[in-house]
Amino acid sequence: MHTPLKGLKVLSLEQAVAAPFATARMADAGAKVIKVERPEGDFARGYDRAANGLSSYFVWLNRGKKSLVLDLTQQNDCNKLEQEIKTTDIFIQNLRYGVISKLGFNLKRLHKVNPRLISCSLTGFGQNGSIAKRKAYDLLIQAETGLASITGGANEAARVGISIVDIATGSTAYSACLEALIQRGITGKGSRIEVSLFDVMAEWLTVPLLNHESGNTPTRMGLAHPSIAPYGVFKTKVGPDLLIAVQSEREWFSFCKLLLNDTDIASNPKYSSNIARVTNRAQTDNLVSGVLSKLTTEEAIDILQLADIAFALLNDMEGLSTHPCLRRIKIKTEKGPISIPAPPAIFNGTEPRLA
């Protein structure tokens, strides 16, 4: 299969999750990705032993890469890295603020040596500002940006259950590098890209931020949507809990007719618009709960499908593991093949392309 990044050389001075996520996508697309590791290895190798004794993080994010061990406290190894950069298309690094310069790798100088170079630096809080030098990890940024304040139940803030900041930053870095490749194809010149974890998550928090600044500060709502009702989790008489989402007035009328068996509710001023239902969320949810508590999950699903209402089962990891929609790939490791979820993009109706 033709891979669009075949022939490109990617050099990554990376660790943990954010940068490795970006370069894993590049490896999947056919790029030659060289992962530079310190002699003791990327510390993500020690996060857990869930993948046949290997780290689940490391197995997931470092497939298809070649490892280059360098001790950058030694001048000879620094010289080796510089020689690699001279023939590199994309250079990514997510070392702590200022470390890359202290090691002698001034990016402006490197771009003069290799004008077609695309460099991408991932930081916690950017290159400037009063807290730029602070260490930054996923959960710290979830807290610092306020994401944790709107995540969880009513009683306490919570972490999003995956490394969402790192993954979002890796995705942003990957798309920015692809944009730079397109631009280089037009101008012949490389780009110097900077992406910070804080900036990425702050941009993702635009909606709750604007709501706060308009006087409607979001609160933690657990499995409910702050702007839509009914949109949340409901218990049935028998079976898994259901998460139901009504997105429009057309859907609400159908929901009232087929599930609530009362079309008058749809025109009641307390429930006739989404804004009214959000204002009267407790009463709205009570109406829905009263009906669903008398139905099994299977009975409720039949009615919801007939009414064309969106729903989901409240699954756990066992539910995902056996889910009929879960696509998997097998990747090679030193401990044997590991089955993981497949990359989401499907090209030309074929299975995911892998390096």
Active site positions, annotated = 166
Phi, psi (5° rounding) for residue 316?
-120, -170
Phi, psi (5° rounding) for residue 25?
-65, -40
* Cα distances (angstroms) measured from residue 292 to each of 198, 240, 289, 339: 41, 12, 5, 37
Show the beta-strand stretches assigned E in 140-283.
191-196, 231-234, 242-245
Question: Of all helices (H) and strands (E), which one includes residue 346?
Answer: none
Indicate the DSSP class of residue 343. Answer: P
Q: Which amino acid is at 217?
A: T
From the centroid of its chain, how far is CA 142? 13
Alpha helices in 188-268 (DSSP H): 197-204, 206-213, 249-258, 264-267
What is the C-alpha separation between 213 and 208, in angstroms, rounded? Answer: 9
Q: Which amino acid is at 156?
A: E
